[in-house]
Chain A
Amino acid sequence: MAVELDVFVGNTTIMDEEVYQLWLDGYTVNDAVKVRMEGGVMDECEASADVLQSDTMDQYRTFQMCERLLHSPAKLANQLLFQIPPHRQAMLIERYYAFDDAFVREVLGKKLSKGTKKDLDDIGAKTGVTLKSCRRQFDNFKRVFKVVEELKGPLVENIRHHFLLSDKLARDYAAIVFFANNRFETGKRKLQYLTFQDFAFCAGQLINSWTVGALDNQVEDMDVDLDKEFLQELKELKILISDKDLLDQHKSLVCTALRGKTKAFNEMEANFKNLSRGLVNIAAKLTNTKDVRDFFIDLVEKFIEPCRSDRWTAGDMRLYLTHYTNSAHILDTFKHQVVWDRYMGVIKSCIFKMYHD
Chain B
Amino acid sequence: MPGKLKAKIVAGRHLPVMDRASDLTDAFVEVKFGNTTFKTDVCPKSLNPQWNSEWFKFEVDDEDLQDEPLQITVLDHDTYSANDAIGKVYIDIDPLLYSEAASVISGWFPIYDTIHGIRGEINILVKVELFNDLNRFRQSSCGVKFFCTTAIPRCYRAAMVHGFVEELVVNEDPEYQWIDRIRTPRASNEARQRLISLMSGELQRKIGLKVLEMGGNAVVGYLQCFDLEGESGLVVRAIGTACTLDKLSSGSAPNTNTHIHPNTAPASNACNSPSKDGKEPVFGEDLPLSSGPPTPFRALPTSSSSPPPFSPCKPCSRQSSSSDTDLSLTPKTGMGSGGSAGKEAGPLKTLLRQQTQTALEQRGASSSGLLLNAREFPFFTLTSFPAGFLVHVGGVVSARSVKLLDRIHNPALGNTRSYKLLDWNSVTADEPETRDAWWEEIRQEIKSHAKALGCHAVVGYSESTSICEEVCILSASGTAAILNPRYMREGCLDIGSTDHRFEEPSPPSCGFCHIPYDEFNMPFPAQLTYCYHCRRQKVPDVLFTTIDLPPEASVTGKGCLIQARLCRLKKKAQGEVNATAISNLLPFMEYELHTQLMNKLKLRSMNALFCLHIQISVGENMLLGLASATGVYLTALPAPGGIQIAGKTPGDLSNEHHILTIQKRINDTIAKNKELYQINPPKLFVLDPEVFGVINMELTEETVGSPIPEPRQRHRLLRSHSESSDELSELDLSHGKKDAFVLEIDDTDALEDIHSLLTDASPPTGFYSCNTEIMPGIFNWTSGVQMFTSVRVLRLSNANLTNQGLNKTFTDLCENLLKSFYFKLRSMIPCCLCHLKFTVAVPEEELIQVTVTAVAMTFDKDQSQEKLTEKPTTKGSTETEEQLQFPLELSTDLSTNMQTSNKISGVPESTTVSPRAASVDYGSFADRCSTWLELLKMKAHTIRRGSVKTSRRTQSLAHPVSSLDRSSPLPEGRSRSLRSNRSFGGSSVPVVKMTPVSFLPGTRIIKYLGIINMFFIRETTSLREEGGISGFLHSFIAEVFAMVRAHVAALGGNAVVSYSMKECVLMENPNKNQAQCLINVSGDAVICVRETDQEPPSVANIGQTCCSSADGAT
Could you tell me which A residues sit within 8 Å of B by CB distance? 1-15, 44-48, 50-52, 54-55, 57-58, 61-62, 64-65, 73-83, 85-90, 153-154, 157, 160-162, 164-167, 170, 208, 213-214, 217-218
**Interface locus among B97-105, B792-800, B887-895, B1104-1112:** B792-800
Contact B982 A8 (CB under 8 A): no
Interface check B418, CB cutoff 8 A: no
**Is B984 in contact with A89, judged by CB distance below 8 angstroms?**
yes
Query: Are B108 and A1 in contact, with the CB atoms below 8 A?
Result: no
B819 contact from A3, A46, A170, Cβ within 8 A: A46
Smallest Cβ distance from A77 to chain B, in angstroms?
4
Jot down 20 A-B pairs with beta carbons below 8 A, ordered by A: A6-B792, A7-B792, A8-B824, A11-B788, A14-B786, A15-B925, A48-B819, A73-B984, A77-B988, A78-B988, A79-B989, A80-B1042, A83-B991, A88-B928, A89-B987, A90-B985, A153-B977, A154-B976, A157-B951, A157-B979
Nearest Cβ in chain A — how far from B25, in angstroms?
16
Quote the shortest CB–CB distance from A235 to chain B (angstroms). 26
Q: Bound state CA distance, A14 and B823, in angstroms? A: 12
Residues in B neighbouring A10, C-beta threshold 8 A: 786-788, 824, 926
A44 (CB) vs chain B CBs: closest residue: B826
Q: 6 more A-B contacts (CB under 8 A) besides A8-B820, A8-B821, A78-B989?
A: A9-B1034, A10-B788, A12-B786, A78-B108, A81-B1042, A161-B979
Assembly CA distance A56 to B787 (angstroms): 19
Residues from chain A with Cβ under 8 Å of B764 in the complex: 45-46
Whether A61 lies near B1046 (C-beta < 8 A) is no
A167 touches B989 (CB 8 A): no
A64→B1027 contact, CB < 8 A: yes
Determine how close the nearest CB of chain B comes to the CB of A300; give it in whole angstroms.
26
- Verify A5–B1066 contact, CB threshold 8 A: yes
For residue B816, CB closer than 8 A to chain A, the reply is yes
Nearest A-chain residue to B796, judged by Cβ:
A1
Complex contact A78–B819 (CB within 8 A): no
Q: Is B993 an interface residue (CB 8 A)?
A: yes
- Tell me whether A167 and B952 are in contact (CB under 8 A): yes
Q: CB distance A81 to B1039 under 8 Å?
A: yes
- Cβ B977 vs Cβ A78 within 8 A: no
A344 CB to closest chain B CB, in angstroms?
18
User: Are B794 and A74 closer than 8 Å at their CB atoms?
Assistant: no
Is B979 within 8 A of A9, CB to CB? Answer: no
Q: Which of A2, A48, A73, A83 contacts B795 (CB 8 A)?
A: A2
Task: Determine if B121 is an interface residue (Cβ-Cβ < 8 Å).
Answer: yes
Q: Which of B948-974 contact A (CB under 8 A)?
A: 951-955, 957-958, 973-974
> Does B984 lie within 8 Å of A164, measured CB to CB?
yes
**B787 x A81 contact (CB < 8 A):** no
- Taken together as a complex, chains A and B put the C-alpha atoms of A10 and B1038 apart, in Å, by 8
- The CB with the most chain B CB atoms within 10 A, among A57, A87, A153, A213, is that of A87
Expressed in whole angstroms, the minimum distance between the Cβ of B150 and any Cβ of chain A is 21
Residues of A close to B14: CB separation below 8 A: 75, 79
Q: Within the assembled complex, what's the spacing in Å between the Cα atoms of A99 and B235?
A: 56
Interface residues of B in 780-823 (CB under 8 A from A): 786-797, 800, 809, 816, 819-823
- Complex CA–CA separation, A269 to B338 (angstroms): 118
Which A residues are CB-close (under 8 A) to B1035?
65, 81
Query: In the bound complex, what is the Cα–Cα distance between A239 and B321 (angstroms)?
Result: 120
Do A86 and B929 touch across chains, with their CB atoms under 8 A apart? Answer: yes
Q: Which residues of chain B from 709 to 741 have a CB within 8 Å of any chain A CB?
A: none
Q: In this assembly, does B1033 line the interface, its C-beta being within 8 Å of a C-beta of chain A?
A: yes
Interface positions, chain B 993-1025, Cβ under 8 Å from A, are: 993-994
CB within 8 Å for A7 and B976 given contacts A47-B819, A80-B989: no
Query: B985 — which chain A residues lie within 8 A by C-beta?
Result: 77, 86-87, 90
CB neighbours (8 Å) of A50 from chain B are 816
Docked complex Cα distance between A90 and B938 (Å) = 14
Q: Is B786's CB under 8 angstroms from A5's CB? A: no
Q: Contacts A9-B1041, A65-B1038 known; A165 to B984 CB distance under 8 Å?
A: no
Q: A5-B1030, A12-B786 are in contact. Are A161 and B982 (CB under 8 A)?
A: yes
Answer yes or no: B559 CB below 8 A from chain A CBs: no
A85 to B957, CA, bound (A): 10
Complex-state Cα separation, A214 to B820, whole angstroms: 56
Task: Report if B255 contacts A (CB, 8 A).
Answer: no
B1030 to chain A, nearest CB (A): 5
Question: Is residue B1037 contacting chain A, with contact meaning CB distance below 8 A?
Answer: yes
A88 touches B1037 (CB 8 A): no
B823: chain A residues within 8 A (beta carbon): 44-45, 47, 51-52, 55
- Closest beta carbon of chain B to A83's beta carbon, Å: 7
CB distance from A293 to the nearest CB of B (A): 26
Q: Kindly list chain B residues whose C-beta atoms are within 8 Å of the C-beta of A82.
A: 1038, 1042
Contacts of A61 in B (CB 8 A): 1027, 1030-1031, 1034
**CB within 8 A of B925: which of A14, A65, A167?**
A14
Q: Do the beta carbons of B788 and A9 come within 8 Å of each other? A: yes
Contact B926 A167 (CB under 8 A): no
Q: Is the CB of A86 within 8 A of B984?
A: yes
Contacts of B1037 in A (CB 8 A): 7, 9
Chain B residues in 8 Å Cβ range of A57: 1030
Q: How far is the CA of A47 from the CA of B821 in the complex (A)?
A: 10
List, in ascending order, chain B residues with CB within 8 A of A166's CB: 953-955
CB nearest neighbor in B for A160:
B953
Task: Evaluate contact between B1034 and A167: CB separation under 8 angstroms.
Answer: no
**Which listed residue, A1, A6, A8, A52, touches B788 by the CB 8 Å rule?**
A8
B1060 located at the interface, meaning its Cβ lies under 8 Å from any Cβ of chain A in the complex? no
A90 in contact with B994 given A9-B790, A77-B984 (CB within 8 Å): no
> Which of A78, A81, A164 has the most chain B CB atoms closer than 10 A to its own CB?
A81
Q: Which of B121, B953, B981 contacts A167 (CB 8 A)?
A: B953
Question: In the assembled complex, which residues on chain A have CB atoms less than 8 Å from the CB atom of B993?
Answer: 11
Pairwise interchain contact B110-A81, C-beta atoms closer than 8 A: yes
Closest CB in chain A relative to B1041 CB, distance in Å:
6
**What chain B residues lie within 8 Å of A76 (beta carbons)?**
984
Which residue on B lies nearest to A60, using beta carbons?
B1027
